[in-house]
Amino acid sequence: MNELTVPVITIDGPSGAGKGTVAQMLARELSWNILDSGALYRTLAYFMKEHQISLAEFEVRADEIKDNFKVSFDPGIPGEPVKVIFNDEDITASVRTEEMAKLTSTLAAEPVIRDFIKPCQRDFMIPPGLIADGRDMGTVIFSDAKYKIFLTASAEERAKRRQSQLKRQGLEVNMRSLLQELEERDRKDTEREHSPLVPAEDSVVIDTSNLNPEGVVKKIKTYL
Ligand code: DC
């Protein structure tokens, strides 16, 4: 891979580790572009569902999907998730549901899906810089990035954060089932054959369980 001309900071880690908030804060502070690769996978899952495209017919319809798959991100405002713009429409609320997370986790394990998404992700490398949030940003997609962060936190803490996020949206969810679903997704993401969720060897690992987002950003800035 060529040496990167656009600086990239990769932020990987499991759901609820704080990647989204931290990526948003850094993108706003540095005025850099943001890639929420999880949302990219979610958007593809959403598109496939809307257009009733099965995994079996994905390859034969890949050109048609590519022509209609125009995704961009807006870091949005603090306290709210990064906005997902698909074909000029804000689809943030439609893709950030537990149902879409579950469907996406299954699709994201498929090589045909990962191969399709890979070049779309590199297209986000636009000056002055990119904050890339995901699971395999530092290990696979931007393995040539200079700055690599891996955020982690206990499953209980991550489930608690997700519960408060859903509460703010007016949704009550059972903590036990939330924790179970999160652990199941962790298992799928870390045990899959293609691009499993692991810290890059040259990444800085930060446990965010006892840190607020400002504390995490401070640690990252010290590293940078
Ligand atoms: O971060 P998230 O919850 O929005 O991610 C949704 C799903 O996409 C999650 O199950 C893992 C998968 N994903 C992935 O496989 N690789 C990435 N780089 C980002 C997300």
Instruction: Flag whether 100 is in a domain.
Output: yes
- Quick check: 140 pLDDT over 80? yes
pLDDT digits (tens, 9 = 90+) for 4-22: 689 999 999 998 999 999 9
Q: Which domain holds residue 196?
A: 8-216
pLDDT band of 167, cuts 50, 70, 90: confident
What pLDDT sits at residue 3? 53
What is the pLDDT averaged over residues 26-46? 97
Q: How far is the CA of 108 from the centre of ligand 1 (A)?
A: 7
Q: How many structural domains comprise the chain?
A: 1
Instruction: Flag whether 223 is in a domain.
Output: no
DSSP assigned state of 6: S
Ligand 1 neighbour 104 (Cβ under 6 A): yes
CATH number for the domain including 57? Answer: 3.40.50.300
* Pairing state between β 204-207 and 130-134: unpaired
- For the record, the structure tokens of 150 come out as 């891996």
Ligand 1 neighbour 152 (Cβ under 6 A): no
Find all residues with CB under 8 Å of 78, minimum gap 6, and list them: 21, 24, 25, 28
DSSP assigned state of 139: I
Atom of ligand 1 nearest to the CA of 109: 15
- What are residue 22's phi and psi, to 5 degrees? -65, -40
- Quick check: 74 pLDDT over 60? yes
> Percentage of the chain surpassing pLDDT 90?
81
- Quick check: 2 pLDDT over 60? no
Q: How far apart are CA 146 and CA 124, in angstroms?
A: 16
Ligand 1 neighbour 158 (Cβ under 6 A): no
Instruction: Flag whether 22 is in a domain.
Output: yes
Q: How far is the CA of 193 from the centre of ligand 1 (A)?
A: 15
- Mean pLDDT estimate for the chain: 93
Instruction: Flag whether 67 is in a domain.
Output: yes
What pLDDT sits at residue 1? 43
Ligand 1 neighbour 20 (Cβ under 6 A): no
Instruction: Flag whether 43 is in a domain.
Output: yes
Instruction: Flag whether 121 is in a domain.
Output: yes
Nearest residue to 150 (alpha-carbon basis) of 220, 79, 82 = 220
